[in-house]
Amino acid sequence: MFNQLADRFDSIFRNLRGLGKITDSNIQQTSREIRRVLLEADVNFKVAKKFVKQVKNRAEGTKVLKSVKPGEQFIKIIHDELVTFLGKNAKPLDLGSKKPAVILMAGLQGSGKTTTCGKLATFLKKQGKSVLLTAADVYRPAAIDQLVQVGKSIDVPVYEQGAGDPVVICQSAVEEAQATKTDVVILDTAGRLHVDGEMMTEVQEIAEAVSPKEILFVVDGMTGQDAVNSAETFSAALKLTGTILTKLDGDARGGAAVSISEVTGVPIKFIGVSEKSDGLEPFDPKRIVDRILGFGDVVTLVEKAQEVVDEDQAIQLEKKLKDASFDLEDFKDQLKQLKNMGPLNQIMGMMPGMNRKMMKGLDLDDRQLSWTEAIISSMTATERKNPTIIDGSRRSRIAKGSGRTVQEVNQLLKQFAQMKKMMKQMGKMKLPKNMKHQMMGLN
């Protein structure tokens, strides 16, 4: 996410880190660089100008402070200002107390509305809410089928009447939700290629008929300035309560994320980070900034780990780490959990200190995990418990059995040995328990 922005900030920061003191010319130069970086990332030029001015003011005010590391302090100013900037209009999803709460999804064609309906339903389901999805995009039969499929895959009911009047369909869906005491109704409306009058009228009519608690504008985060422009148009026609930026897992340059709420005054409520049903995250300015500035994202990582790691297992694992009885069988379980957390490069990208240049060099092939699993599966139970007995002939047998090369088997055993050594050391370290857990992905 935002690799380009992160790369550029990385080089700005490298220059700053060495600074013994902050001078006017440092501030001037850094401000110019930040402005350039933001414009290159397709940030609205007024927004970029405003942001740089804020950083400059803060830096000038701080110049006199005798900080131990002035460069680091400057970096912190940029970080904090960007968090404030992105978070200014921040507001979480608000479903109110009236049931059902209606959420209207609007946006251009292909922006990700239907997919996001499913993700949002998944998100709400996790919070224990019941959801009814509604197929109000009646112009293409395939659109209805798509939503029905989405609903099926996440086990959420879909209200549809085939082709009909979208306003009537939405009203009936709300009535149905009332009758079944459903908490939330999500309306999937039609998108169009261009923002045309007819479409706007229709969606306005729907909004009027069912008074949604939330009107969310779904927009493709890859489209940069266009995203901001279409948000402005929609926001003039509808009382938008929030924006969902989709496709930020791709190489979105970040322009839309930085500019959209500043320009429209409408908060970003969620970001889409994959095509899958769990690929939606509540918008958290600090986390986004940490990613943009290459600070890593421990919180997301820990949350992801929490979702897939079972607590009992974690406690057992910790015990094994302590008494150094962690074996290849446990390693295999860990790999499985890692696989459940999502694509490797996404996970690595969230690790603090993972330099993006380093990541580029790394060949993060998700298949690697499956290969490693295959290798371990080809070992006998005794070998997994005690890898030191795996000699040359056992290695070639394992390689044959798993369809991998002997070199790969060697490499895996070496990595495992190193990992075990590291874990032993970590077990001895006098770190707060929480931090240790985090480092091991247990927390």
List of residues contacting ligand GTP (CB under 6 A): 107, 109-115, 137, 143, 191, 246-247, 249-250, 272-275, 279
Minimal CA–CA distance to 47: which of 255, 285, 322? 255
Angle at 154 (CA atoms; ends 207, 348), nearest 5 degrees? 100
Partner whose binding site includes residue 401, from ligand GTP, Mg ion, none (CB under 5 to 8 Å by kind): none
Strand partners, 245: 219, 271
Q: At its nearest, how many Å lie between ligand GTP and the CB of residue 64? A: 45
Instruction: Check if the beta carbon of residue 403 is closer than 8 Å to that of residue 378.
Output: no
If binding is defined by CB under 5 A, does position 111 make contact with Mg ion?
no
Partner whose binding site includes residue 352, from ligand GTP, Mg ion, none (CB under 5 to 8 Å by kind): none
Binding span for Mg ion by CB under 5 A among 71-79, 112-120, 154-162, 313-321: 112-120
If binding is defined by CB under 5 A, does position 189 make contact with Mg ion?
no
Instruction: Check if the beta carbon of residue 5 is closer than 8 Å to that of residue 37.
Output: yes
Partner whose binding site includes residue 111, from ligand GTP, Mg ion, none (CB under 5 to 8 Å by kind): ligand GTP
Q: At its nearest, how many Å lie between ligand GTP and the CB of residue 220? A: 8
Binding span for Mg ion by CB under 5 A among 107-115, 227-235, 361-369, 379-387: 107-115
Q: At its nearest, how many Å lie between Mg ion and the CB of residue 191? A: 6
Minimal CA–CA distance to 81: which of 232, 264, 289, 252? 289
Binding span for Mg ion by CB under 5 A among 10-18, 110-118, 246-254, 384-392: 110-118
The separation between CA 78 and the C-alpha centre of its own chain, rounded to angstroms, equals 22
Partner whose binding site includes residue 44, from ligand GTP, Mg ion, none (CB under 5 to 8 Å by kind): none
Residues 6+ apart with CB under 8 A from 384: 327, 328, 329, 332, 376
Q: At its nearest, how many Å lie between ligand GTP and the CB of residue 118? A: 8
Q: At its nearest, how many Å lie between ligand GTP and the CB of residue 357? A: 24
Partner whose binding site includes residue 262, from Mg ion, ligand GTP, none (CB under 5 to 8 Å by kind): none
Q: CA 244 → CA 90, 111, 328, 357, 441, distances in Å? A: 12, 10, 42, 29, 29
Minimal CA–CA distance to 216: which of 95, 371, 297, 334? 95
If binding is defined by CB under 5 A, does position 114 make contact with Mg ion?
yes
* Burial group, residue 171, by CB count within 10 angstroms (0-12, 13-18, 19+): middle
Token representation of residue 292 = 């943009």
Q: At its nearest, how many Å lie between ligand GTP and the CB of residue 275? A: 4
Q: At its nearest, how many Å lie between ligand GTP and the CB of residue 226? A: 15
Binding span for Mg ion by CB under 5 A among 106-114, 124-132, 260-268, 273-281: 106-114
SS3 347: helix
Binding residues for Mg ion, per CB under 5 A? 113-114
